[in-house]
């Protein structure tokens, strides 16, 4: 299996000049088709349209819901001091991880609901094939919710399917189109690989397994349902009913998060080759071609550094890296080259702890949302032009950010 290193030089990168900060009343560019909402949360077509793709931002002790186009604060809610945010995938809800479990934030109503999937250590949330899948690190329980039913949730959550790992661990699960559950294997000391399971009534039977992925973490699904997990020495692929290991070119080559497009066979992963390196800034990315079966490491220029919060996929299936120099650098996954640069925020330094507020990027279609904690600000950026189309100043530093992907 091909394993290579590549270095990127700065030469030839085109910078986009003249970033315009537009007023809050700029025109909308919705990315999802609005659907109907039933029950107590029903709204008019006009309100439904305006509520599409809203953005949730956490601050210390609270969450703000922002309009997708203007970034105007629609509502604010009090929460625990630190929460994590993930799209539920139904175009309506954001999953808020708290000490009680997975709590639903309805961005359309808007309302921080009382609907909670209990968890002792709420962890990863995965959206795929019409399911929203939650993993409780404290118990090892995977909870599978039908995403369409979740969008219609009124006073109660939809009926769930669950699977319990042999031992609790920091894990992640995904359900594929054919109903196969692929989930990580580990315990409270280490993680070793993954297993694929088939549901038969109330029981689960093994289909395939692999123990070749030490420190397994994160998940992403590329084109043709090629599922990738990160390992401390490469990556683990599950495709067409079988696992396959991709070895990193370094003895320690950790990929912890996979940034994917379901229309591209190439996975962009964060990459760390020094196990003793301090801090959370990274200077390389992994490019994993799930069709060509190759694992390539691309070293970025010295001015391009990022954390796990700073990479998204966007237009043309490119990767968009929010760097410490304040720019979004556009990477072509096929060539591994940086092909554009969009200055957006001031230069910044990496966090002391991963939970600390530091710049982050999420995307919905052609629009990226970028946090700038040092300025208590969130920006909307057109990824096709690099233009900042809206900005909003909050009362506190933004930390986590999520956009309500999907259609409601």
Closest CA to 96 of 129, 48, 140, 64: 64
Closest CA to 267 of 336, 174, 325: 336
Q: Give the pLDDT confidence score for residue 1 in this predicted structure.
A: 55
Stretch 337-353: mean pLDDT: 98
* DSSP summary character for residue 24: T
Q: Give the pLDDT confidence score for residue 407 in this predicted structure.
A: 66
Query: In this structure, is residue 103 part of a structural domain?
Result: yes
Q: Give the pLDDT confidence score for residue 50 in this predicted structure.
A: 76
Residues above pLDDT 70, as percent of the chain: 88
- Which of the four pLDDT bands, split at 50, 70 and 90, describes residue 51? confident
Q: Tell the residue number behind the tokens 């939650």, with chain if given.
A: 134
Q: Give the pLDDT confidence score for residue 49 in this predicted structure.
A: 64
Query: In this structure, is residue 408 part of a structural domain?
Result: no
pLDDT, tens digit (0-9, with 9 covering 90-100), for 380-391: 999 999 999 999
CA distances from residue 406 to 134, 177, 327, 379 in whole angstroms, order as listed: 17, 17, 27, 21
Question: Do the strands 14-15 and 337-343 form a parallel or antiparallel pair, or are they unpaired?
Answer: parallel
- Which of the four pLDDT bands, split at 50, 70 and 90, describes residue 261? very high
pLDDT, tens digit (0-9, with 9 covering 90-100), for 78-131: 999 999 999 999 999 999 999 999 999 999 999 999 999 999 999 999 999 999
- Which of the four pLDDT bands, split at 50, 70 and 90, describes residue 4? low
pLDDT, tens digit (0-9, with 9 covering 90-100), for 53-72: 999 999 999 999 999 999 99
The kind and range of the H/E element at 196 are strand 191-200
Q: Which domain holds residue 196?
A: 2-9+26-322+349-378+392-403
Q: Is the pLDDT of residue 41 over 80?
A: no
Q: Give the pLDDT confidence score for residue 202 in this predicted structure.
A: 87
Query: In this structure, is residue 331 part of a structural domain?
Result: no
Closest CA to 408 of 31, 124, 74: 31
- C-beta separation of 205 from 198 below 8 A: yes
Query: In this structure, is residue 310 part of a structural domain?
Result: yes
pLDDT, tens digit (0-9, with 9 covering 90-100), for 140-161: 999 999 999 999 999 999 999 9
Query: In this structure, is residue 168 part of a structural domain?
Result: yes
Q: Which two tokens stand for residue 149?
A: 């039913």
Query: In this structure, is residue 383 part of a structural domain?
Result: no
Query: In this structure, is residue 370 part of a structural domain?
Result: yes
Query: In this structure, is residue 18 part of a structural domain?
Result: no
* CA distance linking residue 400 with residue 362, whole number of Å: 10
- C-beta separation of 135 from 147 below 8 A: no
Predicted TM-score of the model (pTM) = 0.89
pLDDT, tens digit (0-9, with 9 covering 90-100), for 269-310: 999 999 999 999 999 999 999 999 999 999 999 999 999 999
Per the structure, the count of domains in the chain is 1
CATH of the domain at 56: 2.130.10.10
């Amino acid at each position: 299996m091909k394993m290579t290193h590549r270095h990127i030089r700065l030469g030839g990168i085109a910078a986009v000049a003249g970033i315009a900060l537009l007023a809050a009343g700029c025109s909308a560019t919705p990315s999802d088709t609005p659907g109907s909402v039933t029950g107590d949360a029903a709204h008019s077509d006009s309100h439904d349209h305006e509520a599409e793709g809203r953005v949730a931002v956490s601050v210390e002790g609270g969450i703000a819901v922002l309009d997708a186009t203007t970034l105007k604060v629609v509502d604010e809610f009090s929460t625990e001091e630190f929460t994590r945010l993930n799209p539920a995938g139904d175009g309506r809800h954001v999953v808020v991880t708290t000490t009680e479990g997975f709590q639903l934030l309805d961005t359309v109503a808007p309302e921080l609901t009382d609907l909670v999937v209990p968890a002792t250590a709420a962890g990863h949330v995965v959206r795929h094939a019409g399911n929203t899948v939650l993993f409780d690190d404290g118990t090892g329980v995977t909870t599978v919710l039908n995403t369409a039913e979740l969008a219609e949730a009124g006073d109660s959550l939809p009926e769930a399917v669950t699977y319990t790992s042999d031992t609790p661990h920091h894990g992640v699960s995904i359900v594929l189109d054919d109903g196969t559950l692929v989930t990580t294997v580990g315990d409270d000391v280490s993680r070793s690989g993954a297993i694929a399971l088939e549901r038969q009534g109330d029981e689960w039977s093994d289909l395939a397994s692999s123990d070749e992925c030490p420190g397994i973490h994160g998940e992403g699904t590329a084109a043709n349902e090629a599922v990738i997990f990160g390992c401390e020495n490469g990556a683990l692929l599950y495709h067409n009913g079988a696992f396959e290991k991709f070895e990193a070119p370094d003895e320690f080559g950790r990929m912890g998060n996979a940034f994917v497009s379901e229309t591209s066979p190439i996975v962009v992963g964060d990459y760390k080759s020094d196990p003793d390196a301090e801090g959370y800034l990274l200077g390389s990315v992994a490019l994993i071609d799930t069709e060509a079966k190759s694992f390539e490491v691309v070293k970025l220029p010295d001015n391009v550094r990022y954390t796990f919060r700073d990479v998204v996929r966007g237009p043309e299936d490119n990767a968009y890296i929010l760097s410490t120099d304040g720019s979004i650098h556009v990477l072509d996954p096929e060539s591994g080259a940086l092909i554009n640069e969009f200055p957006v925020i001031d230069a910044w330094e990496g966090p002391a702890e991963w939970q600390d507020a530091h710049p982050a990027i999420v995307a919905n279609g052609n629009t990226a949302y970028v946090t700038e904690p040092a300025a208590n600000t969130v920006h909307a950026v057109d990824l096709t032009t690099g233009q900042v189309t809206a900005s909003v100043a909050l009362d506190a530093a933004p930390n986590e950010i999520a956009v309500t992907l999907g259609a409601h």
